[in-house]
Every structure is written in C-alpha cells, then in structure tokens.
Structure 1
Amino acid sequence: MTTKRIITMLLCLAILLVQLPAPAAAALPGEAGQTYETSFTGSEISLRGSSSQQQYFTVMKYWDVEQVTVNLHYQSSQLNEDTRSSVTLSLNGIPFYSFRPSRDSNGQQSLSITAPKGFLKEGSNTLSIQGSLRTDSGEYQLCSMDDEQDSWLHLFNTSNIAVRYTAKPITGGIEDFSARFSGMDTVREGQSLLAVPQKASGAELESATYALAGFAKGNTLNDRTILLLPYREDTAADKEAVVLVAMYDHLPDRIKKLVSTENDLSKYAVIELVNKESQPTLVVTSKDESLLIKAGRLLASRTLVSQLSQDRKVVSDATDVAEAAPPISTNITFTETGDKLTGPNHQEQTYFVSLPSNRSIADDGRISLDFRYAQNLDFNRSLVTVSINDTPIGSKKLTKELANGDVLNLNVPQSLNISGNFTVTVAFDLELASVLCTPNREQMPWAYISKESAMRLNTKDRTDLLLGNYPYPFLRDGIFNRLAVVLPQERDDYTYRSLGNLLNMLGQYAEGNTGDVHYYNDNATADNLKDNNIIAIGTYKNNKVIRDNNDKLFFKFSKDGSTLLSNEKLAIEQQYGAGIGTLQLLESPYESGRGLLAVTAVSSESNFIVSKLIGTEKDRWKVYGDGVVADKDGTVQAYRFKTISGAASSSLVSKALERTDVLGFVTAAVMIVALVIVSLLLLYRKHKKKRGDQA
C-alpha cells in the first residue's frame, strides 16, 4: 500500500470520527436536567359551572428555574358546549393561558402548558384553575339556563406541575447547606443522610437527635423521612448531602483531615461544612461530649441556623443556643395583610392552624370574621360559611347594607373534638344578580377577608397514653419531655433506621430545643429510667428492657422470643407472629404517670416496617389505640387495651390558670369581694367610734 493511499485513509477516518456524536457526560448532582413534579394535592377535584380550584407548589431558593410546565389530565362533561366552556390558568394571580375543553374521546384529555417563569416567586406559588362551564348553546333562547350538576370538568390527581431547574452552587454556608439538606427534592430522592459512628455513644446519639429534629422541621414532605444510619462508605457513597455527628476521635481519617483544628476541640465544638464541590458534608464534632450535644441543639434551632452564612461555626460554653418553644397562642390571626377572593359563585380561602398534637380545643373558642364584599350581588342567594376541618360551624347571609364592613362571630363547638393541627375554611357564595337572565358582568364580584379576622382559642392537654395522641408523652407543648431511648447494645442498620423514623416525626412537632433526651443501652437500670418517658426499640432477644417487661406487653413474646402470641384481641399463628412488628404504648413500669413505647418484633427488619407508621404524617392515620400490629404486606391492625389511660387530670386551679378569661373574671371577683370587706370594716369602725363619742 502506497504512502499516499495510507494518508488518504487516515484523513477519511479522522473526518468520520469528528462527525460522530460525542458521548453524553454523566450528570453530576445539581446539574441541569433535574425536574421536580408536584402532583395535585388530595383527592381528584372537579370544577362545576363557574368555580375555581387552587394548587400550590414550591420553588426552592437554591433552584435556578429553567421551565415550568403544567400537565393537566382531565375529563370534561359530555354535555359541555365546546364553544362556550372555557378554563383559565393563573399563576400567582396572573392569568397566562385559557383553553376550551373538548368533548372528544368521551371528554378525556391531556394538556401540557408552559407557564411564564417571570410569574414565579421563591417559596410557595399558587396555580389557580378557573372554570366557566356551560351545557347550553344559548343560540335559540333569550334566557339560557345551565345545570351545574351537568356542567363539570374533572381533574385527575395524575395532573402535576413540573419545574425543571439547575441547583445553584452553595454560596451561603451552613444555612445554604441546611436548606438543601431538608429540601423537598433532596429528601424525596433519598439523598439526605444524617450519620453517626457505627457504635455511637449516648452523647453522639443525643446530639444527632437534636440536629435531626431541626432538619426534619424543615422537611415539607409528608411521606418521606431523612435517613439516619452509621457512617460508612456504602451508606454515604451516593448521597448528595451528609451530616456527620461524631466525637473527634470517631471521625473517619479522611473527614478528620478536612476539619479545621485551629480551635482546641477539648474546649470547643465545631460545625463545619466540607467537601462542598463533590459531596457537601456538614461535620459536627468535638472532644467534649457536652459541647457536642450543645452543637446539636444549635442545629435544632431553625432561627439560629438561618443566620449561619459562613462554612464554620465554633460553639463554646459561652455560646447561647437555647430556644424555648413559643407559647401556645390564644389569639390566632388568619391573615397578616388580608385576602381577596374574586369571581362569581363559590370561592374559598383556607387557613392552617398549628397546635401541639397533645392539645385539643377546649370550650369557649370563638371565631371573629371581619370582611367586606361587592355590592352587585344577588343578596337573596349570597352568603358566607365558615368550616373547621371541612365541618361547617356557621353561615351568614350577605346584605347590601353591610357590604362595606360585615362581621361574623361564631362559637367553636367543643364537640368537634379537634386536636393538633387543623384548618379553618371561609367560603363565599357570590351569586350575581341578572337582567333578562343575562349575568351582570360590569363588575366582577369579590369578597375581602381583613387582617382583623381572628380566632380565640382555648386548649387543653390530651394526656391519654394512646397512639392517637403521639408524639405525646415524648413531646409536650413542643419540647422533648424527659425522653429516654433504650437501644440494643449491638445495632444493625434497621435499628438505626427505625430510630430515624421516630425522630423524624418527633422533629416535625418539636418547637424548641430545650427538652431532655438521653440514650441507654438495654442494660439500663431502673434508676436510669425512672421519671422518664421511654422508647424501647429492639427484639425480645437483643433488648433487655423489652424482655424484662414482656409480661406487661399487650402482644407478648413466646418464652424463647421466636414469635408473638395471641391475645384477647387477635389470634396470631406462630409463623405469622414471627414476621409482624408492633407498637405498644403502655404506662411505664418504672414510674406511674410516665409512658413506655415498645417498638418491637422478632426481627429488626419487622421493627423497621412498623416504625414507618409513626415516621411520616402519610401513614399516621392508621395508628390509634395503644397496640398496633403491621406485617410485611402492609396490613395494619390497631387495638385499644387499656381502659384507663393517661396522667392524672389537671387540677381546677391549673385549668383556671390556663384560661385567661376565667383568670380575669376570678381576679375581678376577688378584688370586688376585698373592696366590700374593706368597706364593711371601715363602716364598722366609724359606727363604733360614733357610739363611743355618745357614751
């Protein structure tokens, strides 16, 4: 082969290689192409006649948004008129797309719409879906009438809002990392890990508990938890964000080299962000156990963490990290600036009210709604209705005379039996007056809820030792309530994951970082556990506390611990009993008035399965009574065994002290009685003196 021919062949090969597509590069965490989908919440929803629905989604502050797509899957009534029915989408109150739903394919349709990025805002965003659905053509009638029962559009819950984004580089230090660690995209993909050493000490676990409580508070998902596991290469390898809580001597060598030692760690604790470019890791460490715990308490405070803009925070004995739980408010304001509702017919505004789960609404609660509305309504048919947790508690007819300033005062029925968080919904039916059956559209009807609207709320403790009141007694009024956690001496990953599930739920409800949590191995003495509320995680064989109190459990183990036994509530076959997990909440055998929660099974894997029931809000509704059984197939059975449960009832004096209205009345009454007594004494002295003068 000649040299010329070889050169020609090499040139052709080079040209061919240039034209071949380059191999796609592997996407690194945070690179373009990530998409977060928010499905439409709750059950499938419907629009009828002229009505609207709102869906909410979040844009994280560390997202660089590239595109927002609204994916609708719906079915339109077969009677809807294509040319007269319409649906309009608005983002944060700004309309951006309208369409006419078709009756083709039996009304089942799919539609994807790109929303303007400029309408987005950081944090919560609102997508409004306004329907104007008509069943008649209106061609041959002067007065056309629609039947709202026939004019509907059904939105399937497969509809979603998809946000495509790129994660921005970490520039905000510990605060920036914290937001990403608890971010809904990181948590949903299981990319957050809070790690401790394999054989973590009590101090390391206590510090990790406070830290996890703070991060769990920032987790907005109701079906995902932040993972708790020992730190190993296999557990941390694929995680995008890691928090490692450990004594300095227990840190892996490669992490130890990254932690600054400019401060004496026997006198300080350090919270330091390392590995920002590859795998961001927040290291919490010290050589002093009390300082390590203090650093964990700092991370439990969302307020303090939001102020840490640097990559490193040093904690000393003098560092103030205490954050008490906020007082339980008796006066709750619904809106800070006021809320406007526009459009005819039914319009709703919902407010979320947060309460500790162990408190319920007591008597004499009251809602005062201050509002105004348009004057072009049909006042014979327009009204406002207030509901709590979708249960109506009262309505009022709207009138033209009070349109510029109306008030609705309602008592909160104690029979609602509400505990923990609840919602208050204000619904307006804004019916338009008509002329010759043609709606008056000169002015869009509206209603406005003013910032003076408020709720006076009296609450009382729910002290029954029942799983429906969980996380009581382990949290009380937002802080850890003398919690003692008993773990096996030898712990596998399932044990840590079970503990992590429980701590995620406790963290969601924790408000302050000043409570007490202590960890013990299963050889803890009665003196260690006295005057504590106890969570014992483990099996009959590896947790002595569970083994010693087997006779007090509702679901008892066999003598060799190989299965759970039948009882008066449930017949248990031997093989089935070896595969189920249980949650059992009973009075502490170490002190009356305290609680013991046994998270127990024959295997630690079954423990993990049942612990998921009290790990997230999604499954918590399945848990009630004081004894719960769950198997690997997802079957959950809940029972109540105790006939009398809970701490002693509050005294009359303590109840009165919690009621500001009663306390004020009693104070006034005492003052009046005192004044009467003083007046009588003065009159008596005066009368006696006069009698003495006469003598």
Structure 2
Amino acid sequence: MHFIKGRQSGTRRSVLRNWQRQLQKIRSRCGSKETNMTTLTDKHKKKTAAPRKISTAFLLLFIVITNPLAAYGSNANVPEPGKTQETTQESVQQESQPDTPEAQKEDQLNVLPAADPDLAQIPDQNEPVYEPVSHTQDTFFYRKTLKGIYSSTDLYFYVEDYWDTKYVYAKIQYDVSQLIESAASSVTFSVNDVPVQSYKLEYKDGNSQILYVKIPMDQVHTGFNSLSVSAYARLFDEQGCVDDYSDANWLSIADTSYIRCGYESRDPEHRISYYPYPFMAAYEPAGKGLVIAVSDKAASGEVAAAMNLMADLSKHTGKRNDIELCRISDLKNYQPSETILISDYNDLPSEYKDKITKAPDSSGNAIVNFIDDSNAKPLLIITSNDDSSLMEAADMLMDENRRKQETGNLAVIEKGSGQLAVNAAKQSDMTAWNYTLEDIMGSGLSYVGPFHQEKYIYLPVSKDFVLAQGGKAVLKFRYSENLDFKRSLITVFWGDVPCASKRLSQEKASGDELTFEMPGDVTGTSASSLKITFDLELPDLLCTPRQSDMPWAYVSRESAIFLPPAADITLSFDSRVSPFSRNGKFNDVLLILSDEPTSVELNLLGQTLAMYGEEAKPYGTILVKRAGEFNGKEGDYNIITAGTRNGNAFISQINNNLAFKFAQDGASFESNEQLVLSREYAGKIGIMQLLKSPYSLNRGMLVLTGSNDETLKNLLDYLRDSSKREELKKDCVIIDASQNITALKFIKDEEGKEGPTLAEKLVRNRRSLVFTAIATSAMFLMLLAVIIILLRMRSYRKKNEE
C-alpha cells in the first residue's frame, strides 16, 4: 500500500512559509495606509453633517433587521449556542497555526488506501472458523457500486457495550466488470480508517464471487465501527496508455454481504447504566417476554411513563414488537422473563415494596431500582410519592448521558431535574438548525481521483423533518490546481434533487466558496442527506495518473448548513410521524383512556406510540387523561384515543367527527359516501382514523376503534408487525379479521390549497410574528428618534440665524 501524504505535507510546509512571508509584507505595507486612512476619516467626519450620519446608521439598522439571514450567509463562523465570541476567536486563532493538532487535522487529506495489485493477495474464499459462542449478530447492507480508477464506500456495524465480543469478520459477495479482465485491480479493506487486508480482483466469466475479511479485534470498539472498501484499477498497457472510459470499470457489492459479530453477553450486575439491557437485547429483537406494568389504578403519570418507555424500547425491536403492557394484577397471565414496573408508591403492592432497596421520600423524588423478582428474573421498579415525577424517571432512562452515570442498582431522580434539559432545548430552538460539517461528521470531506466523485452528508434530523422556507448552505472548499477548469465543477443535491453548482477556477483553488438558498421546489420536502459531488476533470487524460498526482478536492469542516423545520402538520399515515412527533420527540401528545382501561386498550396505545416514536428522544410531552376527566377547553394537544364506543365515552363524544361513525348501538360502523359496508362486515372491522382536532387549530387526532375487544386485538396484532405498519396509507385504514386493509382518503387536498385561515396563520407563525413585531417597533423608535433630532437641529439653526 502506498499513500501520498509525505509529498503533500512537504509542499504544504513550503506553501505555508511563502504565505507567512507574503503576510508580513502586506502587514508592513498596510501600516502607513492605516495611518493615512485614519487621517482621511477624521477629515471626513468634520465635513459630514449629523443628519447624514443618522440616516446612514438608520439604513444599516434597517438592513440588518429586515434581512437576518444575510448575516448568517456572510459569516459562517457565528458562535454556537453557549459559546462566547471570545471562544470562537480562540478557535480561529488555533486553526491559523499550522503546528497545532487541530490544524494538522484540518489540513490532512483523507487519501484512499490503494494496494499495488501485483502485491495484493488472492481473495480468501474460506469462511473463518472460531470457537463457538452463544450469540451472533449479522449486519446486512444495501447494494453498493464502486466505479472509476479509485473509489471507496463505507459499511457500518455496531458493537453493544454489553457484548464480550470474541470475533468479527465480513462476508463480501461481489461482481466485477469485464474490464477488470485486462487490468490489474485490487480492493483494500480498512477498519476505522486502519487498512487491514488487500485482495486482488479478477473477472470470472461474469459470475459472482465471495471473499472473507477477518477484522482484528484490537481495531474494533464499542459503538459504531466502519469497514471501508477501497477499489483501485491500474488501467494501462505497456505503452502506458489507457481506455479513459473508467466508469466501465466497476465493483458491485451485493446486498447479501454482511458483517458478523460473535459475542457472549456480559453479566448486567444490576447496573442501571446497562439499560435497556437486559430488558432488551440483540439476541431477542422482538422483545418477547418483556412486560411493562402499571399499578391497577393506572394513574396518569404511570401510564405516561410506561408509554414513553414503550416507545424507547421499541426502537430496539426488529420485524415484530412483542413487548406487552398491562396492569400489575395481570402480570401472572404473561409469565414475563423481564419486567419493568411503574407505580405510585402508595399503589405499589407490598411484595414489591419489600424488595426495593430504598423507599422514595416525601420530596417528590423518583426511585429507579434494578433488582430481581421472586423468580430471579430482571425487575426494574420505578416509583415515587409524586405521580408527575415518574415521567422524569423515564426521561432519565432514555437520556444516555444521564443514564451512564448510574453505575449502581439504585438511582434517585430529583424532582424537576428533567426540566433543565427541557428549558435548554426551548432556548436553543431558534438556533438548533445551524450545522457545520464538524458538528455532523467531525471533519471535512475529502475527494481523491479524477472524474465524478460524490460524498453524502447524513443530516442529523429526525424522520419527521420537513424543510421550511429559508434553508441555506455556505460551503467552503479547495482543490488541486492540475484540473481542466473548463469542465470541473461542484454540485450539491438535496437528497437526489440538484440545488446548486459552481464551476471551479484556478484563481480560487486554494479557497473557494459556494453560498446558496434552498430552491423553492424542495421547500416542504424531506431528505436524510445532502450529496456533494465534484467533477474533477484532467486536461488530456490519456493515462492513469500516479496517486501522488491525483486531483483532489476538500470541503472544509467550517462549511455551514441552515435547515429550518416546517411547522405545518400532515394528517396522513404516509408521513408516519406527523403530527404526534416533532424533532424526534413526542409533540404535545394527549392520550385519552377509557375510565377503566383494559390491557388490550393499553397495548394498542402502546403499539401506536411505538409506531410514532421510532426515534423517541427524552423530554417529549405525553399527557394522559381519563375520558371522564377530559375538558375540551384544555384540548390544545395532538390527541390519540383507542377503544369501543360503549367502553370509551370520549369516542362516543366525537362520533360525529369520524369518517366512519358508529351505529346507534355501537356494535358496528355506518357506511359513508366512499364505502358501503355490509352489516356483518361492519361489525368485524377495526378502523384507524386521522382527523383534524375539533378542539384546537393546527392539531391532529388519531382514533383507533372497533365494535368489540376482538376487533381491537386485530388492530393490535397488525401494529405489532413493522412491515405491515409500512402499508398504512392515506388518513383512514380499515383492518378486517384477516388483517386485510382498505385505505381511504377523507382529508381533501383542496382544503389545503385554499390556504389557512387568519387564525391558523397566527398560530403557525407565532415566532415570526413576534420577531416582526420587535423589528418593526425598533424601526419605528429609530425613525421617531431621527425625526425628533432633525426637528431640534432645525430649531437650533433658526435660533442661530436669528
């Protein structure tokens, strides 16, 4: 293997010395100019009238107030929330010093490791043999295709902290183009940027091939690990000339390829920091045997905390979610292998009170205690004398930074401790959508090699993210000077939609910039990534260049992206999370239970929260009320309810708002203009209906209903299957006893096209209105001040003239 760092680092040192000499010359020249400029300024100040100064200041203030994004676009180094300007200046000074580690990190170009094909080994086609282990975890990938002379892709695998990992290896099934048959080619594998193995590539009559890569355990760490695959083709003949159609040279990695980890599970030692292990583990991805129980009273705080943990634990489930939710008295019906028990201390049965290490005090603090139940199975008890503190305990378990601090089996959560995190999130809400590449990736983006090169920036946004108007990007980059600048350019994509491009130029090779606003046609859409591509064309390329002469480009880690989220809601199962989840957190969710909720009802609501909480983060808002407690005047929430008309009084109350209304006896549904229901069929179906909340503007409601418990169980079984959740479409879904679905649309698009009412606009644009009001008030005060000063000056002049 060979790298190009030595030659480039020497060149950089010489360039830096030249820059320093030039900088000293410029500073020496500027000394006298600054003096002259100061003198001219002083003269200008004496000649300039006061009204002109005031008008100029007023004009500048007007521009800054009315165009805040201009400041963002012209300065990508705005201090982050919580950082002072001094901190930012210190970081800039550090980056300007070439000898600091940070500067070296910035200057280094991430070069593709390329093995000499003549020295690479023949691929190992024998699966590695290791000592047997209790558990294995396979990570599969989407199909990947590498093209060109040099190309690379990354595959990722995750190692849990409770794994005692014994071995890791990769099975790669691949195909290569026929062009490889006449070219020397190799593929190199690197683990966490450390090269570990290189193999020679050969074409074998178009047949798929398999190779194995043993991954050294000393290169594997807890958390995410990367396996980089770098391909190299030396396309030349004896005279050194090549076929420059390098895209015909490709390596395709099949989606049957995987990375396998063999491991033993560590003893949890009743440590809370290991949560969600052993209650959820990779070797039981469905969560079978895990039961979350609340007291028989099912107080509001208990149910809210249980639903929050249900959503959090469901993130770790696979194709099916078998986690159960019930009351304590029903636990014996499930025979759980792991139990999470959430209860007010006064409602906790004595058999559990006797087991806990420490009882909660009267201050309202919550207790989390990891012990064993009477059958020596894992038991996590969450209890408090204050019902509202139970939700804070659930948030602590979901917050990894806080949970990792609890290395024992008992944690005391102080009442109000979670509010600190909630307030911090609210304060940073206006600036949380400013990202730099360093924030997202920890470094810049490197491109090495001729022709088309592309890299993805996977955005740190939730699945419910939708781009609002005003999105912007400021990319700072540099590139080599050996390019054909008539044909070389950079292009940026929002997902797969091109947004902006710029032709490269030799004059700006050492420091170029691309600033653009997101086009209008991507506003209101979502994407999980930005794609930045470079077309690095070389003049008269007839031969494969040496790696040290390869064209390159580098996008600086200071490049910034501003991605404001849209505030509108989407009432459709296609969107999956809106409006009940926003920015990965539950968005003002109100669960309305029947006065005597059954296990089926609790489980149905739990699976619904699991569906909408795919990315459940702590500190979201979930409230719980009984149907008899609900007051429509307090309905400014996104409401979810479940049950039958006869069992849940709230469903009876909103019956006239439903697309499919209940018959008078509540034993079946009535037909409507879109679907006529037979009498027998109408009594055997369950229905999921989304509708606009009748209690608040810009809020949604989800109603899961059936005529009896059997129809509700059909809904529950359907939602347990993650693949079936993906089939949910439109805003109303009927599910029959065979779990066949019928999707209908009742919320018409025309309603959205007519535009929101004035009241809805006020609700949706509260922040903008506040900002506009403040800016307008400031402008008015400034104008008033200017008028007063002008009047006084005029009066003063008249007195002087008299």
The reply to whether TM is greater than 0.5 is: yes
Change (3 A) 1:397 1:494: farther
Q: Check if 1:279 corresponds to 2:390.
A: no
Alignment of 1:374-453 (within 5 A): 374-418=480-524, 422-431=528-537, 436-453=542-559
Residue in 2 that maps onto 1:551: 656
- What is the deviation of 1:69? 1.5
Alignment of 1:147-546 (within 5 A): 147-148=245-246, 150-170=248-268, 173-178=271-276, 181=279, 187=285, 190=288, 193-197=291-295, 200-212=298-310, 219=315, 227-230=323-326, 232-233=331-332, 235=334, 237-239=336-338, 242-248=339-345, 250-251=347-348, 255-261=352-358, 263-264=360-361, 268-275=365-372, 279-315=377-413, 317=415, 322-324=420-422, 325-326=425-426, 327-328=428-429, 329-336=432-439, 337-344=442-449, 345-355=451-461, 360-418=466-524, 422-431=528-537, 436-463=542-569, 465-467=571-573, 471-475=577-581, 480-488=586-594, 491=597, 493-508=599-614, 513=619, 515-520=621-626, 522-526=627-631, 530-546=635-651
Residue in 2 that maps onto 1:674: 784
Residue in 2 that maps onto 1:70: 170
Contact 1:432/1:440 (8 A) holds in 2: no
**Which amino acid letter does the alignment assign opposite residue 448 of structure 1?**
Y
Instruction: Tell me the TM-score normalized by structure 1.
Output: 0.80
Q: Check if 1:34 corresponds to 2:135.
A: yes
Change (3 A) 1:432 1:619: farther
Change (3 A) 1:533 1:634: same
- The range that moved more, 226-235 or 330-339, is 226-235
**Which amino acid letter does the alignment assign opposite residue 246 of structure 1?**
S
- What is the deviation of 1:677? 1.3
Change (3 A) 1:461 1:386: same
Match of 1:583 among 668, 688, 704: 688
Match of 1:569 among 663, 674, 678: 674
- What is the deviation of 1:367? 0.4
Deviations 1:460-499 (A, max 9, x none): 4114545556644445666655533123456555433322
Residue in 1 that maps onto 2:212: 112
**Which amino acid letter does the alignment assign opposite residue 85 of structure 1?**
S
Q: Helix, strand or coil: the match of 1:143?
A: coil
Q: Check if 1:644 corresponds to 2:751.
A: yes
Change (3 A) 1:507 1:604: same
Contact 1:505/1:616 (8 A) holds in 2: no
Identity of counterpart residues, as a percentage? 29
- What is the deviation of 1:151? 3.3
Change (3 A) 1:363 1:262: closer
Residue in 1 that maps onto 2:65: none
Q: Could you tell me which runs of 5 or more consecutive residues in structure 1 were left unpaired when the two chains were aligned.
A: 1-30
**Which amino acid letter does the alignment assign opposite residue 414 of structure 1?**
G
- The range that moved more, 602-611 or 483-492, is 602-611
Number of paired residues?
Answer: 652
**Which amino acid letter does the alignment assign opposite residue 639 of structure 1?**
K
Answer 1 or 2: which has greater helix percent: 2
- What is the deviation of 1:443? 3.9
Distance 2:781 2:688 in 1: 52
Change (3 A) 1:284 1:100: same
- The range that moved more, 110-119 or 464-473, is 464-473
Distance 2:483 2:525 in 1: 38
**Which amino acid letter does the alignment assign opposite residue 644 of structure 1?**
E
Change (3 A) 1:234 1:110: farther
Distance 1:671 1:266 in 2: 50
- What is the deviation of 1:274? 0.8
Match of 1:85 among 185, 209, 231: 185
- What is the deviation of 1:56? 1.7
Contact 1:194/1:228 (8 A) holds in 2: yes
Residue in 2 that maps onto 1:13: none
Change (3 A) 1:428 1:91: farther
- What is the deviation of 1:204? 1.6
Instruction: Tell me the TM-score normalized by structure 2.
Output: 0.71
Contact 1:369/1:453 (8 A) holds in 2: yes
**Which amino acid letter does the alignment assign opposite residue 657 of structure 1?**
S
Change (3 A) 1:592 1:342: closer
- What is the deviation of 1:394? 1.5
Change (3 A) 1:72 1:145: same
- The range that moved more, 357-366 or 67-76, is 357-366
Residue in 2 that maps onto 1:21: none
Distance 1:679 1:394 in 2: 47
Change (3 A) 1:612 1:651: farther
Distance 1:233 1:105 in 2: 62
Distance 1:579 1:359 in 2: 37
Distance 1:684 1:619 in 2: 78
Match of 2:732 among 600, 624, 627: 627
Contact 1:37/1:160 (8 A) holds in 2: yes
Deviations 1:184-228 (A, max 9, x none): 555456565433346633332123234445556xx4678665824
Contact 1:503/1:615 (8 A) holds in 2: no
Q: Helix, strand or coil: the match of 1:361?
A: coil
Aligned Cα root-mean-square deviation (Å): 4.0
Distance 1:353 1:307 in 2: 28
**Which amino acid letter does the alignment assign opposite residue 369 of structure 1?**
L
Change (3 A) 1:90 1:376: farther
Contact 1:340/1:446 (8 A) holds in 2: no
